[in-house]
Structures are given as C-alpha cells and as structure tokens.
Chain A
Amino acid sequence: MGGAAAFGSVASAPVALADDVDPVVTELPVPGDSAAPDVTAYECDVLVVGAGWAGLHAAVTARKAGASVVVADKGLPGYSGLAPFAAGCTYYDPDWDEYEGTLKAVTQTGEYIANVDNFAHDMDNSRAAYEENVEFGLVGGYLNAPASGYPEYTDDRDYFQANIQNERHHKWMEVLDANEIPVADHVMVTELLIDNGRVVGAVGLHFQSSTIVTFSAKAVVLCTGGGSYKPAGYVTSGDTFDGEWMAYQQGLSIVGKEFDDFHQTTSYQPGDYYYNNTWDYVEPYAPYASFSVADDASARDTYASGKASYMTLNRINQALYGLAPSPDVAPKRTFASHGVEKDADDPRALFSAELGEGGTNRKSDTYGACPGMQTHMNCGIFCGWDDHDGATPLPGLYCAGDGIYGDMSEGCMYCFVGSTTTHCSVQGNMAGAAAAAYAETVEGPALPQDQVDAITDEIFAPTKLEKGFDPNYVVNQLQAIMIAPQIQLARNAESLNAALTQVIYLRDNVVPKMMGYTGHDLRIALEAKHKVLSAEMKLRATLAREESRGMHYRTDFPYRDDKNFLCHLGVSRAEDGSVQVQKIDIPDSWKGDTELPYEQRYVWRFPGEAEALGISEEGLYEEQ
C-alpha cells in the first residue's frame, strides 16, 4: 500500500450521479471471506506490533539502526487505535517551560508514585521526538481555530478534502514506505512465539480473510495501546488489551491496572465521538500546552487541585449525585477547547481560546466515554524502574507507548494534556533502538510450527461449536459489569467482588463457548477474551489497593495510605494459573517529602476522606 496515492480523493473522483436518482439505503450482502493478503509469513529482525505514535517511532528507529523491520497493525497505520485522534503534543522548551517545577508537579499530582525519572527522561527527549514528528509531516497548526478556515465550511468533509495535503493520517504509511518497512495491515497479532526462553516471533489473524499470518522475528516490540469497555464516545475500540494478554500469557507482570482514566462525552449522546471531537481529527496535530508549572508550592498546589477537580472529583460527584439537566440535546460541530494558559498573542501559543464566529465550545458534560481505559502512560508491562528502553524481563520482547509500557511516568493521574504522544514517541524510539541492538546479538530463529499450530487451533476454536455465545454478547455483558459507577468510580470491596463474580462467570462459562463463523466473529471473540482477562486483572488490582489515590477511589478506604501503599501493584499469572497481585516497591526519590503533614502532601479531598481521618475538610471536594 502506498500513502496518499492509495487513497481516492475528491479531485480524482468520477462524476457524481444526478440528484434525481432515488437513494439506495440497503446494504449488499455481507460476503464470506475476503481475499487473503499477499504475504502470510514474515521474517525480520524486529517485529513492531501496532503502528501508532509509539509503533511508528519504534519501527523507523529500528530501521535506521539497520534492522529489517515489519509492522503488524490491526487496522491501517495512521487510522487505527487511538493514534489518529491525538490533537496535540507537548515538548519541553527551556525558554518557555519550567523544568524543576514540572517535575515537582508530576511528583505531587502523580501522588508520589509517579516515575519522575522516566518522566524527566521523556521530557529531555521530547523536543527531538517532536522534531521527528515534524519531519514525518505530522505536525501543523493555526494561530487559532478560525484561522484554519474550518468555520467557513458547513460540511466537515469539504474542509477535509480541501485540506487533504495537510492531512496527517495518510502520512503514516508514507513514512513506513519511505523507510522500506513492510506493513501487515488488518492483522490482529494474538500470541507471541517463544523458543529457549526468548521471543522468536508472533502469530496473527488477517480477520477479513480468516488467514493466519506468522512472523519470525529476533525481537518484538509491543506498541499495542490499552483498551476500554465502552469505547463509543472515545475512540479506544481498536485497542482491546491485546499486548497485555500476550505479556500475561508469558508470565510478565502488569502494573497500573487500578487507575482508570476517563474522557468526557455528552450525557445525551454518549456514543457521539464524531460530533464532539471533529476538530481533533481533522485539524493538524499541533504543539500546545507545555510543561510549565512554576517552581513554587502554591503553583503546584493549584495545579494538583485543578487536575483533581477536572479528572477525578467532577466525575466522582457525578457518580454520587448525578448531573444538572442540560439544555443541549442535539450534537453540534464543535471546536476542541485547547486553551493555552499563555499570552494568546505569542506565536508559540498556537491555540487561543478565541473561537470566532461559527464556532462553539465543545459540549461535554459527563465522563464515561471510555470506562476501563488506563490512565495515560500509567499501565503496562513492568520492566523495572531503571528501564528506559521498554525492555521486558522476557529476552527479545520490548514495549512502548500508552497502555503497554508500564513505567508509570505520571503516577496515578494524567498530569499533562498533550504529553501522551510525546511519551509514546520517545518510548518508541528507545524500544526500537534497543530491539534493533538486541537483534544483532541473536541468530534468526526458526518458526516453532507446533506453537503456531496450537495458536491456530485456539483462534479457530469458535468455528468448531454447534451452539454457543455471540462474542458481541460477551463484550456487551462486560460493558454492563465494568462501567457501573460503583466499579469505575466510587468503589468498595463489595461492589468490586460482585463484579469479579460476574467476570469470572464470563471467563469460565461464556468465553470458552463463544462461537463464530466469519473472520470478523473470530476477531471479536479474541478481543472479548482479552477484555475479560483485563477486567479480572483490573478488579483484583483495585481490590488489592485498599486506599484512595489519584484516579483510584475506594469509598471504603477514602484516604491515601502512605504507610502501606506508596508502591505499585503488579498483576501476573501465579504458578497455579490464577491471577495474583503483588506489591512493587518504588524509589524513595519519587515519594516527595513524607514528613510533611497529610494536608500539605494531599491538597484535595476525596469524599469521606476528611471524616475518615479526622482532618480538615478544606480542599477541593464539595458535597452537592
């Protein structure tokens, strides 16, 4: 596939039909399998699974280091996973930003379990990663939203076509093609191949043709993103914890399962990603916001409280008390409100709060767009706190990016909007370089056919049943279980155990009985299986953390417990096959000043926290 040339554009379209032809709204029948891909067996030095921000950088960096690289993606690179919907990036600018203040803000806002070392590392490399994204052709920007010309179009599609040359998404494939990196697109990689204690490749399913695709690789970099349970409303659907599944099967430990992100949506139309977020998709990817918290305690207190209000307390309040009615009941075209807290006339502040005529603020009055999603940069395979390369304990296996590299660089909060793609780009570079270097030290592996056969049987198991369950049933049931407010937000041991009972039922009695006839069915079945495991891991980690911290709130333990939980929790498979949770110590240097009085360390209150500890209620929480 080639970049923009592979895509039809309006300029090349044939003449449209006359308007007096009656519209046809009936679909043609769903076909059986589509054509198999030309290549179904790959051999390379480095396999990169997932070509989002992390995967793109991993692939290009490994290639530039001299490795032969293949990318596998569940969709088409540039259009799959969360990567297409990133709106902007943050990089550290010494003339503009505050280095020390930012690190201290991460320490405090991340509630003293943030990997400040990796945050600093990514910040140090952020400018270079940003410049690479510029080089890839992915970056652009306007002085403000109206300057783009967007408000002049009543039809987003016309604006999109008029600006097709600036359009960033097709440039993914252009970059991969330019670097001679073959892409196994629309292939879902499901299991790793292991020989003599090292990774030797992977197996995937080209679902549109129900074809098995094998990868023989000296090194594998997982850039598979995270996942969620209700993705309409925020576009995490393509991410279904696939990398987490693969790592867990190999005995690796997953950290950060207990911290849940949110994204806002509209309460009257919660599946409404397009209308609420049009601008994020069609605009260029731009630098905005910054690492700019001033280096004084008051600024950091304000920052931490503001973050808490926006990301945690508002949604806890909504879970406990509901919403005020909304006058808006129809979706609207909106601009993203990426305000920058700097002088709007400064050219570096590429987005201003001014929207101009024809624009409206983004309407989003509730959380709930993607329950179950990991907090950005705070979940994934545990690689040891000294690691910057995404080198997992399994030789040959690397990881990079949101949801799969568990470096916990923002602790238990999402501290800096726009930092996600920064982290992902840097991490991709690190993992790509490390994987390429490792690949030079090992021989090309032989494909373990017995493992391929076993994995193939597992993938096709749903086709062998005469009766069973629709995989979509599992996905829908899991949504119902996992997105209840008492599981997502205001949780306690009873509610979590109730959910766990349900999830275990799905795991043991429904997942093994999923049936399917088409490659699409098989894909949904695999994704359902991965999501059920992820749900069990999430519930067990949430039960184990008997305190509240950042984006983890327990009504039965509504306070931070530094004595017992200034640590992370790793979830892994025990000897007996069960899911186990273990504490992982963290460096003292992350913990801030543990001698400070509680109210100074933690400047905002969870509901019930002050009462439980007998301390002042002062802080950001307000009962409605």
Chain B
Amino acid sequence: MSVARLDLNKCVGCKNCVKVCPMDVFYFDANENKSIIAYPENCQSCAQCYVHCIGKSLTMSTIQSNYSIGAGRALRTYATVVAAREEDAGEPA
C-alpha cells in the first residue's frame, strides 16, 4: 500500500508531507502551492504524511504499489468461502 491523493483541491500547501516523509516521496510546486506525490513507488506506508496533512488531501491506499511479499500468506478466500459454508451449515464461523 502507499499514499495516494484523495483530492488535490484540499492541499493547503503547508508542506508537512514534504518535510516528514522519510522516503523522498513528496516534492512541492511553489507556483501552484501544492504538494506532489512524486515517487509513490518508494512509499513505505508509514502514513506520517497522512496524519500530518491538515487539508486531509491524502489517503492511504490498500493497493500495493511496490513489490512487497509477506513471508507467509493466509488464504484470502477463507472469509468468503469457508465462513459462508460454515454459516450455511449452522456452524460458528
């Protein structure tokens, strides 16, 4: 996941994101007085920018924008398939 833009209109040009990002994701357009999500592929999803964005211009996307694998992966369809089957059969989920 990484930072993504919710609405650039809401960016108030405070530069908090540029200052706090440890990964050089953000740059700034002084003419437009807006931040630029320049390098989302290097975002580590720490969300420091997100909590500091006073205009609420940003969101944290759950779409993985960079190569990232867990060392193990649980079966995603458990909730939609097994839990549903168990509910049908009257078993606790």
Contact = CB atoms under 8 A, between A and B. Distances in A.
A21 B9 contact: yes
A53 to B, nearest CB: 15
Contacts of B55: 13, 16
19 contacts: A9-B54, A23-B8, A26-B5, A26-B8, A28-B32, A31-B38, A74-B22, A157-B56, A160-B52, A237-B42, A237-B44, A238-B22, A267-B73, A268-B74, A271-B66, A275-B60, A318-B72, A472-B42, A485-B71
Interface string A238-279: 100000000000000000000000000111111111110010
Given A8-B12, A27-B38, 10 more contacts: A79-B20, A79-B22, A169-B48, A233-B45, A233-B68, A237-B23, A267-B73, A271-B2, A274-B60, A326-B75
A157 B50 contact: yes
A394 to B, nearest CB: 28
A207 interface: yes
A318 B66 CA distance: 23
Interface in A467-484: 472, 476, 479-480, 483
A80 B47 contact: no
Given A7-B14, A157-B56, A326-B75, A270 B70 contact: yes
Contacts of A266: 70
Interface string B2-21: 10111111101011100111
Contacts of A31: 27-29, 36, 38
Contacts of B47: 273-274, 278, 281
A156 B41 CA distance: 24
A235 B83 CA distance: 33
A267 B37 contact: no
A17 B6 CA distance: 14
A615 interface: no
A189 B83 CA distance: 52
B60 to A, nearest CB: 5
Contact of A232 (B28, B38, B45, B72): B45
B66 A371 contact: no
Interface string A1-30: 100001111101110110001011111111
B70 to A, nearest CB: 3
A427 interface: no
Chain A facing B: main interface SS: loop
B72 A230 contact: no
Interface of B: 1-2, 4-10, 12, 14-16, 19-24, 27-29, 32, 34, 36-39, 41-48, 50-56, 60, 62, 64, 66-79, 82-83, 93
A388 to B, nearest CB: 30
A237 B22 contact: yes
Nearest to A314: B72
A160 B71 contact: no
A31 B47 CA distance: 23
B73 A323 contact: yes
Given A157-B53, A235-B44, A366-B70, A329 B24 contact: no
Nearest to B81: A325
Contacts of A28: 8, 29, 32, 34, 36
A281 B72 contact: no
Interface string A118-153: 000000000000000000000000000000000000
B48 to A, nearest CB: 6
A325 B24 contact: no
A195 to B, nearest CB: 31
A85 B47 CA distance: 11
A376 interface: no
B10 A16 contact: yes
Nearest to A328: B79
A157 B16 CA distance: 13
A483 to B, nearest CB: 7
Given A25-B7, A31-B29, A265 B70 contact: yes
A271 B70 CA distance: 8
Contacts of B69: 230, 270, 368, 483
A312 interface: no
Contact of B76 (A23, A268, A275, A371): A268
Interface in A72-126: 74-76, 79-81, 84-85
A489 B42 contact: no
A177 B71 CA distance: 42
A197 interface: no
A347 interface: no
A34 B71 contact: no
A231 B44 contact: yes
A81 to B, nearest CB: 7
A273 B45 contact: yes
B22 A80 contact: yes
Contacts of B39: 30, 520
B71 A13 contact: no
Contacts of B42: 237, 472, 520, 524
A272 B76 contact: no
Given A13-B55, A281-B47, A326 B67 contact: no
Contacts of B32: 28
Nearest to A318: B72
Given A13-B55, A25-B6, A79-B20, A329 B79 contact: yes
Contact of B64 (A34, A84, A271): A271
B62 A472 contact: no
